[in-house]
Amino acid sequence: MKKITTVGGGTGTFVVLSGLKKKPDVHLSAIVSVADDGGSTGRLRDAYGYLPPGDLRQALIALSEDETLLRKLFSHRFSKGELAGHNFGNLYLVALTEMLGSDMHALEEAARHLRVKGRVIPVSESPAVLCAEYSDATCVVGQYAIQVLREERGPIKRLYLENTCHASDSACQALAESDVVVLGPGDIYTSTLANFVTHGLSGALRTSSARLVYVMNLFSTTESGGMTMMDYVAAVEQYVGRAPDTVLVNTTPPPENVVASYRERGQQLIVDDLGDAAHVVRTDLLSDIVFGAHAHDAVNRSLIRHDGDKLADAIMSL
């Protein structure tokens, strides 16, 4: 059994896990951010003080058996009344936590109900408040605020937590035992590197013998501005404490109408300035499906994404 661990949150991690779970002889662990504070997750976090359920729910769904009713229910988002914007899976996790008295017990029970292949591990057992200091010396508090910031602040100079959070023993153990650790795709700061400002996680990965794989994003985001691919890799090395052993880069151009839509949102294709380095693997990783933002979701979602099966094939080929 090859032990593969993903570190991140949101849609990017969902895509990677959805592809890898189909591979035989693989044991999967998903280390998930606890800094999410937007949308349904933010409302529930403010009301109950539990671990933010959104990214945990996504990882559970990704690793669950396909075509089960509960899996579909976990993805259902309400559109009317007081529950508008809430996701059933988020409410389910909060209810389980309240009943069982523990976020960890709730996750274990939800994983059993969903017949999850692998483990979903919060990076910390305490909710985190993410902060970013920009090159103009201003600071922004909260993952969602950083993610959707529209004003020109320059690049993020420093990422940190407002509160002290320690990496869970389960997360550190998963990294220590892994053959491969996968970072990305996803928002470089608020999704991927948010985990590594949790005390102890970067140290666990630095001392691990696992191969570190970074999946390069398709487009820039509002938080990454004009960063090139070399900038992304440098940011990983800065916060993780070691450079990726492999960088996976998509080579298939997205449709022009998708590129134009991203351009209208102030986002661009990321400049590939990685050169001919041996650790860079360039291949077709693009999905054929174009996605739209959910009508009841306040967060801008990707219009086009990596293909989970292609990513899984690329990772397994290493």
122, two tokens: 């919060």
| pLDDT at residue number 290 | 60
- Whether 120 has a pLDDT exceeding 90, the answer reads yes
pTM above 0.95, yes or no: no
Q: What percent of the chain has pLDDT over 90?
A: 73
Q: What percent of the chain has pLDDT over 70?
A: 94
| pLDDT at residue number 298 | 40
| pLDDT at residue number 221 | 85
**Going by C-beta distance under 8 Å and a sequence separation of 6 or more, which residues neighbour residue 187?**
10, 147, 221, 223, 224
Q: List, for residues 123-181, the tens digit of each pLDDT value.
A: 999 999 999 999 888 899 999 999 887 666 677 999 999 998 999 999 999 999 999 99
Q: 17, 62 in Cβ contact below 8 A?
A: yes
> Which of 46, 41, 21, 128 is CA-nearest to residue 93?
41
The CATH H-level superfamily of 2-316 is CofD-like domains (3.40.50.10680)
| pLDDT at residue number 108 | 95
Region 51-61 average pLDDT:
94
> Which of 171, 86, 71, 91 is CA-nearest to residue 123?
171
Q: List, for residues 282-300, the tens digit of each pLDDT value.
A: 999 998 766 554 433 344 4
Q: Which amino acid is at 158?
A: R
